[in-house]
């Protein structure tokens, strides 16, 4: 029987670009600090290490919300299903809590109805508790909801940080009843050097990274920061105790400059 979790624990721990012993030590530090949401993907090439780290921890698998994502090369329905079985084998688990489409099919090479229907079938087979999408635009979100029905898509995982606030898409997801998960919340460390975030951080006796994570949380988003340092892993989760005031939120809102970091050549045509 699957251990269902109604909501995604916040924050999650991101594992992009982490591997081997560094990854395992980081996951152990995260679980010890209180994280209960681990995010990986087929593309990261670390599912086996993530699975091993979870098995070696003192936290039971059923207490961890585990996410992985299907890469766009695997969207043809038969390949999608086979790739999920491969992911589960690498992770050493019979199910994931959340299974995402990592990127929409470039130029709609595989029709969305084909791969989302396959995704829903994987869920029906008990291999995923929840399903969702990642890097989908407003129009793609609407198409996905029209295919699967409202309430079926748990989240759209998108790039959100103070320099790319993605408000139009975030509000559109909320309107469709879809939780936003913010990836790359610290803008690969750029938030640490921002004068506005530094000033707000000083006022709260916090770091710019903590202020940024508190800001994401106060926008009602899940987020999945990544770190290899136990000190930062702990301070990231502590950020969720910080309460920003209206002035803080307004100042951060002014930092948006549409600075997109994750923008590969196969990305969709982004919303303006």
Q: Which among 150, 60, 135 is positioned nearest to 102, based on CA atoms?
A: 135
Sheet holding 65-70, edge to edge: 13-14, 37-39, 65-70, 96-101, 128-134, 153-159, 179-183, 222-223
Point out which residues pair with 156 in neighbouring strands. 133, 180
- Catalytic hit among 35, 44, 95, 115: 44
CA pair distance 195, 213, nearest whole angstrom: 16
Supply φ then ψ for residue 27, to 5 degrees.
Answer: -65, -40
How does DSSP classify residue 57? Answer: S
Which alpha helices (H) appear in 92-137, and where do they start and end? 112-124
Query: For the CA atoms of 48, 153, 178, 192, what is the dihedral angle to 10 degrees?
Result: 20
User: Is 115 an annotated catalytic residue?
Assistant: no
Tokens (6 digits) for 227: 């770190």
Tell me the catalytic residues: 44
């Amino acid at each position: 029987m699957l251990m269902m979790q109604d909501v995604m624990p916040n924050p999650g721990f991101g594992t992009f670009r982490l591997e081997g012993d560094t990854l395992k030590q980081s996951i152990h530090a995260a679980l010890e600090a209180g994280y209960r949401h681990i995010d990986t993907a087929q593309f990261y090439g670390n599912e086996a290490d993530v699975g091993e780290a979870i098995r070696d921890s003192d936290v039971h698998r059923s207490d961890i919300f585990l996410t992985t994502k299907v890469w766009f090369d695997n969207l043809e329905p038969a390949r999608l299903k086979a790739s999920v079985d491969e992911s589960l084998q690498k992770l050493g688990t019979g199910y994931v809590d959340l299974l995402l489409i990592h990127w929409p099919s470039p130029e709609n090479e595989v029709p969305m109805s084909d791969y989302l229907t396959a995704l829903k079938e994987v869920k029906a087979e008990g291999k995923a508790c929840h399903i969702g999408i990642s890097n989908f635009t407003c129009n793609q979100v609407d198409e996905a909801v029209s295919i699967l029905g409202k309430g079926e898509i748990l989240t759209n995982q998108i790039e959100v940080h103070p320099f790319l606030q993605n408000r139009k898409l975030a509000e559109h997801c909320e309107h469709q009843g879809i939780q936003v998960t913010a990836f790359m919340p610290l803008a690969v460390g750029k938030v640490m050097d921002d004068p506005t975030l530094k000033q707000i951080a000083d006022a709260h006796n916090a770091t710019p990274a903590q202020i940024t994570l508190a800001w994401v949380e106060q926008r009602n988003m899940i987020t999945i920061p990544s770190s290899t340092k136990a000190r930062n892993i702990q301070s990231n989760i502590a950020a969720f105790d910080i309460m920003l005031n209206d002035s803080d939120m307004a100042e951060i809102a002014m930092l948006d400059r549409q600075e997109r970091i994750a923008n590969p050549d196969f990305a969709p045509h982004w919303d303006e």
